[in-house]
Amino acid sequence: MTTHEIQSTAKAQKNASNAEPKVWMTALETRFEQAQPNLNNSRSTLIRDILENAEDTYFLSSRALAKRYHVDKATIVRSVQILGYKKYAEFAADLRSHFVSRLTPYKLMKAAAREHRSVADHVEHSFEMEAHNLQALRSQLDSNQVIRLAKQLNRARRIIIVGVDFAASLSYLMAYGLSCLGYDAEAPAGSVGNLQQKVNLLGPKDLLIAISFGRCLQATVDALLRARENGVPTFGITDSEKTPIARFCDSFWIASIANPSFHGSYVAPLAAIDALFVACAHIQPQRSLALLQQKDEDSRSRWYAPPPGEGPRNNKRKPDKRTDKPERTNFSNGNSS
């Protein structure tokens, strides 16, 4: 390695460690951008192709990666060093993180299909990952953190919960549960414009909760940034400390949604939200009991009841004259079957 190359590598390592990564870029993308002045065209093209095809490269050794791109191992190692990595293992770890953060439903399904498991194996794998996600949440989130957020909710004048796409179900559940306990909570539905209008009404005495995972959806991040500009306290539920939600929120919880399907697993986020409901209910038990009692009285007409004067119905299915044949009676022993 020449003196110039050594200086370039040292400079890249220093820049990689000191520079603040852009929110829309992974750590590896940030290093790649910073190293551009030190990369020739062939190395730049090589690294870009590795990043763009991370689902096919993140698990490869340096030797296998070199074989895939028809270059020698030294070229791979040298390119990685120019990015600021001292060891290939460090680069491989960031490449895997890049792959995970850039997962799309298509890429996720493609990776799962490549494993050639049976349908039953895929289902069992899903159950295993659900249990793992829940265990990971249990080890990371303690009761004090839940109580701390519950007290913050208790102080908030108004709470807006933002979740888009699949996460919309989480935001609605959270808002509805908190409303039942006496909190002024809402999960805005409809257009992005409606969401932004609701966020514009918030102030320093309110709270915005953002729920998004992976790269995070634009509408959710935009609402979060708008709230921060207005001095609104923010809280996030996400799946990594490197996501835009984690970077921009005042505080956040991590709940993994890893799942071998085309969508995320919401077992862990749901468990976290349920724990929050418990804390909120017991911080002010008298208020919770009064509200739940009123809800119980108001909701009696919601439950199913037979029409007046009508007893329990026979649950036996009525025969379909078009398809059902009459039952045959067996007289062989003098009793009907």
Stretch (H or E) spanning 125: helix 119-140
CB contact at 8 A, 277 and 150: no
| 125 in a structural domain | no
In-domain check, residue 321 = no
pLDDT score for 230: 95
Q: Do 147 and 275 sit in the same domain of this protein?
A: yes
Label residue 312 by pLDDT band (50, 70, 90): low
Q: Does residue 60 lie within any of the structural domains? A: yes
Count of domains forming the chain: 2
pLDDT digits (tens, 9 = 90+) for 58-82: 889 999 999 999 999 999 999 999 9
Contacts 24+ apart (CB under 8 A), 43-48: 43/75, 43/78, 43/79, 43/82, 46/71, 46/75, 46/79, 47/79, 47/83
Cβ 25 vs Cβ 34: under 8 Å: no
**Domain contains 319:** no
98 in the same domain as 232: no
Answer whether residue 178 shows pLDDT above 60: yes
Share the mean pLDDT of the chain: 85
pLDDT tens for each residue of 125-164: 888 888 999 999 999 999 999 999 999 999 999 999 999 9
Give the C-alpha separation, 214 to 245, whole Å: 9
| 150, 78: one domain | no
- For residue 179, the model assigns a pLDDT of 95
With 90 as the cut, is the pLDDT of residue 83 above it? yes
The answer to whether residues 161 and 186 touch, using CB atoms and an 8 Å cutoff, is yes
Beta-carbon contacts of 4 under 8 Å, excluding residues fewer than 6 positions away, are none
pLDDT in tens, 277-303: 999 999 999 999 999 888 888 877 777
Q: What is the reported pLDDT for 96?
A: 83
CA-based nearest residue to 85, from 32, 141, 143 = 32
pTM of the complete model: 0.69
- Full residue range of the structural domain in which residue 73 is found: 3-102
- Does residue 118 fall inside a structural domain? no
Residue 190 lies in a domain: yes
CA distance 84 to 14: 8
137 and 54 co-located in one domain: no
Burial class (CB in 10 A: 0-12, 13-18, 19+), 115: exposed
Residue pLDDT, tens place only, 6-53: 445 444 444 444 444 445 678 899 999 999 999 999 999 999 999 998
Q: What is the CATH number of the domain that holds 268?
A: 3.40.50.10490
